[in-house]
Amino acid sequence: MFPGTHNVVGIESEVRVEDFEYIPFMDPDGLYAFNADVRAADLQGLNLLMGFEGFGDAGQVVSQISTELLAKLPAKPLAYFDVDQLVDYRSRRPRITFVQDHLTAYRAPRLVLYRLLDGLGQPFLFLTGPEPDLQWERFSAAVVSLARNLDINQVAWVQSIPMPVPHTRPIGVTVHGNRPELIEGMSSWQGTVDLPAAIGHVLEVRLAEAGRNVTGYALHVPHYLAEAQYPQAAVAGLEYLGAAASLMLPTDRLREAGREVERQIGEQVASSVEVQSVVTNLEQQYDERVDSTGRKSLLADADDKLPSADDLGAAVEAYLASRDESQDT
C-alpha cells in the first residue's frame, strides 16, 4: 500500500512499507454474497478446505480434487465471490462452444464457498475456483472475515508444483502452516527458497496472522507430467486434506484413473530410450538426495544450489519430443 520511501515537503521522515498493515480501500465483505436461504448460525465451527485452479496446479491436481469433491459428495453453494472484480478475463479467457450457427454453453468462472458432507455425513466447507488475478489483499481480508464470522476451526489448502522427481517414487509433499503436529515429519523437501506467491500462500499468512489454524500442502508432480492430468497426486492431496480436517474424502475413481495413467506412462517409457534415461537419472538423483526419513532437498545439487530453468527444461523437452514422435507413429 505504501511502496518505497515517501518524503513529505517540509517534514524529514522515512516511511517504510513494513511499518504499515494493509487496510483495504473497499469493504472486503462486499466481494461475496451468501445465498438467501443460508443461515450463518448453521455453519459455525466447521473445517475449511481450499483449492484454487490456475497457478500452482501442476498435473491438474486442484482441478481433479475440486471435480471429485463436488461430483461425489452432497454439495450446497453457500456464497459466491464477485469474479468480475477478481478475474482478468483476457489473461484466462473463459470457454464457449460454437455449434454450427450459434454460440452456447458459455462457462463463466465461478469462485464459490460450498458446504459439503463427507463419506460419513460430516459437514465441512470448501472454497474453490480460479485463483484471483486482482485484489489479493481484499480477497484475503474477505476470507479472513468469513473465517472469523463462521468460527472456522481448521483451514487446509492444497496446490501442486512441478519437481524434478520420477513417477516411480512415492509422491512427495511440502507441508507448511502453524500446526506443528500436522507438519513435523511430513515434508519430503525442506529448504529456503524465494518463490512466486500464489493466493493460497497469502491466505495462509493472513489466516495465521488472524489466529486461525492453517496448513498448506504442496504436492510434488514429476515435471515431465506437469501439463497432463496426474490422478496419483490428486489422490495424495485428498488424503492429506482428509487427514488434516478429519474427513473421509472420495478417492476410488481417481485411484482407478491413476492406475490407467500409470500403465500409459509405462508404455511411453518402455518405447523410448531417451525417456528411460530421463527417468533413470531422476531415480538416481532422488535416491541419492533423500535420506532414511525421506526429508532432504530434492532440488539442490551437491553444492546446495538450485538447478536453473534450463536444466529442468532439458528433461521436459526430451520427454515431450519423444512423446510427439510416438504419437506421430
- CATH number for the domain spanning 205: value is 3.40.50.10900
DSSP state of 305: -
What is the predicted pLDDT for the residue at 261?
Answer: 94
Residues 132 and 173 in one domain: yes
Residue at 26 is within a domain: yes
Spatial distance between the Cα atoms of 2 and 20, rounded to a whole number of angstroms: 8
Residue at 287 is within a domain: yes
Residues 201 and 100 in one domain: yes
User: Cβ(272)–Cβ(326) under 8 Å?
Assistant: yes
Q: Does residue 2 register a pLDDT over 80? A: no
Residue at 5 is within a domain: no
Residues 288 and 227 in one domain: no
Task: Identify the domain containing residue 307 by its residue range.
Answer: 259-328
Residues 230 and 269 in one domain: no
For residues 281, 261, 274, 307, the Cα torsion angle rounded to the nearest 10 degrees is: -40
Looking at the DSSP bridge assignments, the partners of residue 173 are 219
Provide the 3-class DSSP secondary structure of residue 3. coil
Residue at 102 is within a domain: yes
Query: What is the tally of structural domains in the chain?
Result: 2
Buried b (16+ CB within 10 A) or exposed e, 200-227: bbbbbebbbeeebbbbbbbbbbbbbbbe
Residue at 1 is within a domain: no
pLDDT in tens, 88-132: 999 989 999 999 999 999 999 999 999 999 999 999 999 999 999
DSSP E strands, 16-140: 32-34, 48-53, 75-81, 95-99, 102-107, 112-117, 123-130
User: Cβ(184)–Cβ(227) under 8 Å?
Assistant: no
Q: Which among 231, 250, 269 is the end of a domain?
A: 250
Residues 141 and 200 in one domain: yes
Residue at 62 is within a domain: yes
Q: Which residues contact 229 (CB under 8 A, 6 or more apart)?
A: 59, 60, 63, 64, 257, 261
Distance (Å) of CA 269 to CA 56, 230, 261, 278, 322: 26, 16, 12, 9, 9
Average pLDDT score over the chain: 84
The enclosing H or E element of 317 equals: helix 309-328
pTM flag (> 0.85): no
Residues 64 and 192 in one domain: yes
Q: Does residue 286 register a pLDDT over 50? A: yes
Q: Which among 217, 250, 283 is the end of a domain?
A: 250
Q: Does residue 250 register a pLDDT over 50? A: yes
| Mean pLDDT score, 258-271 | 92
Residue at 11 is within a domain: no
- Max distance between CA atoms of the chain, in angstroms, equals 75
Provide the 3-class DSSP secondary structure of residue 189. coil
Spatial distance between the Cα atoms of 204 and 286, rounded to a whole number of angstroms: 29
Residue at 282 is within a domain: yes
Q: Which among 232, 250, 268 is the end of a domain?
A: 250
Q: Which residues contact 217 (CB under 8 A, 6 or more apart)?
A: 156, 157, 158, 159, 173, 174, 175, 237, 240, 241, 244
pLDDT in tens, 288-324: 876 555 554 444 444 444 444 444 444 444 444 544 4
What is the predicted pLDDT for the residue at 316?
Answer: 43
Spatial distance between the Cα atoms of 329 and 318, rounded to a whole number of angstroms: 17
Residues 155 and 269 in one domain: no
Give the residue, 200 or 193, on which the prediction is more confident. Answer: 200
Q: Which residues contact 219 (CB under 8 A, 6 or more apart)?
A: 58, 59, 61, 158, 159, 160, 161, 171, 172, 173, 233, 236, 237, 240
Query: Which of 118, 142, 145 has its CA nearest to residue 244?
Result: 118
Residues 177 and 302 in one domain: no
Residues 114 and 187 in one domain: yes
Residues 228 and 275 in one domain: no
| Mean pLDDT score, 174-191 | 80
Residues 40 and 156 in one domain: yes
pLDDT tier, 36 (very low <50, low <70, confident <90, very high otherwise):
confident
Residues 218 and 235 in one domain: yes
